[in-house]
A and B are shown apart, each in its own frame.
Chain A
Amino acid sequence: MKNLGLSKNWLYIPLLLMAIFYLLPLYVMLVTGFICRDRLEDNVEPATGDCL
């Protein structure tokens, strides 16, 4: 039992991976809303917004 505390730290790897999965849509909502025109030149989809 004594190395239990140490051996449990690997659990952060799956936990963080899952955190990315859950945060991805939130990230998309936040970041794509703030994207400005310069970044989107290569993209076919229409874009709005001028860079500050």
Chain B
Amino acid sequence: MLRDKDRYLNIVLVSPSIVAVLIFIYGFIAWSGRVSLSKWKGLTPDYTWNGIRNYLDLFSDPRFAVDIRNTLIFTGVFVGGSLVLGFLLAVMLDQGLRGESFFRSLFLFPMAISYIVTGVVWRWLMNPAMGSRMSGLNLLFANLGLDPLVNAWHTTPKWGMAAIALAAIWQMSGYTMAIYLAGMRSIPHELREAARIDGASEFQIYRRIILPLLAPVTLSALIILGHMSLKVFDLIIAIAGKQLQLDVPAIYMWQATFDGLFYARGAAIGMILLISVAVLIIPYLRYTLKTDSQP
């Protein structure tokens, strides 16, 4: 069926994209990798071989240790919070209530907004000032008589990252809700009916039937949210700027490279981020593409 002209035309048409991906993704990764093994510091490139020195230095760098700790706190609160909240919202919207589509759109709209806008608004909402300068959520809590809720938000020692994660949950929990809801809608109704006839309560149906059936959805949400939290950058910059207390690898990479001109160290942080994302994403890609191709 294929005519000669068409046999090569398809390759010709996609080759610009393939070349672009080859250069801008894989070529640049290799280039970054090479920089991370060099002694480049300052404005002029210096590719003198330095082995894995930069990586070793990072792992004994106290700032990088803070970054890892912060990333873990952020990931735990953000991924856990988004999964739980998203699931609960999906269960509530799955009941066929009136106004369902209104609530669904409402829970999803933060996704259309940039992390910078979210950050600027939450920076004001989470204003840590106390006393007469109190504002934002703290002032709202105080006005409502909910004084125990007044807190220092992202300036809380050690746990400040959890406040940043709250803003991230605001932004992303709608996404988890949407994929859970899509998953719940694809579960055949007969399954629930059968369980109801067996005398199962609504709670038991969700606990014993729906949640286990949605395990693949949970897994993909876990991976998508997890890889996002490794990359978190804009949100923290917009809420708190560059503070050591709220430092993460992406910000350290930024400061090392563009403020401090420690290009080799910056590249090494970038590569560590890439490797941690790849560990999550590659098995996920293999799994999804495999299940995709067998309908």
Direct A–B contact present (CB less than 8 angstroms): yes
A-side residues, CB < 8 A to B, are 1, 8, 11-12, 14-15, 18-19, 21-26, 28-29, 32, 43-45
Contact flag A25-B118 (CB < 8 Å), given A11-B95, A11-B97: yes
How far, in Å, is B121 (CB) from chain A's closest CB? 4
Q: Does B73 contact A (CB under 8 A)?
A: no
A-B contact pairs, 17 of them (CB 8 A): A8-B95, A8-B97, A14-B88, A18-B89, A18-B107, A22-B109, A22-B170, A23-B106, A24-B125, A25-B170, A28-B121, A28-B124, A28-B125, A29-B117, A29-B121, A32-B124, A44-B133
Cβ–Cβ < 8 Å partners of A14 in chain B: 88, 92
Q: Does B158 contact A (CB under 8 A)?
A: no
Whether the pair A19, B106 counts as a contact (CB closer than 8 A) is: yes
Cβ–Cβ < 8 Å partners of B133 in chain A: 44
Interface of A is mostly: helix
Instruction: Give A25 to B140 CA distance when docked, in angstroms.
Output: 13
Select A45's contact among B95, B103, B135, beta carbons within 8 Å. B135
Whether the pair B97, A12 counts as a contact (CB closer than 8 A) is: yes
Cβ–Cβ < 8 Å partners of A29 in chain B: 117, 121
Cβ–Cβ < 8 Å partners of A43 in chain B: 135
Instruction: Give A12 to B100 CA distance when docked, in angstroms.
Output: 10
Q: Who on chain A is nearest to B122 by CB?
A: A25
Cβ–Cβ < 8 Å partners of B128 in chain A: none
Q: Does B208 contact A (CB under 8 A)?
A: no
* 4 closest A-B pairs by CB: A25-B121, A11-B92, A44-B133, A8-B95
Q: Does B266 contact A (CB under 8 A)?
A: no
Cβ–Cβ < 8 Å partners of B249 in chain A: none
Q: Does B226 contact A (CB under 8 A)?
A: no
Q: Does B294 contact A (CB under 8 A)?
A: no
Cβ–Cβ < 8 Å partners of A12 in chain B: 97
How far, in Å, is B33 (CB) from chain A's closest CB? 40
Instruction: Give A44 to B133 CA distance when docked, in angstroms.
Output: 6
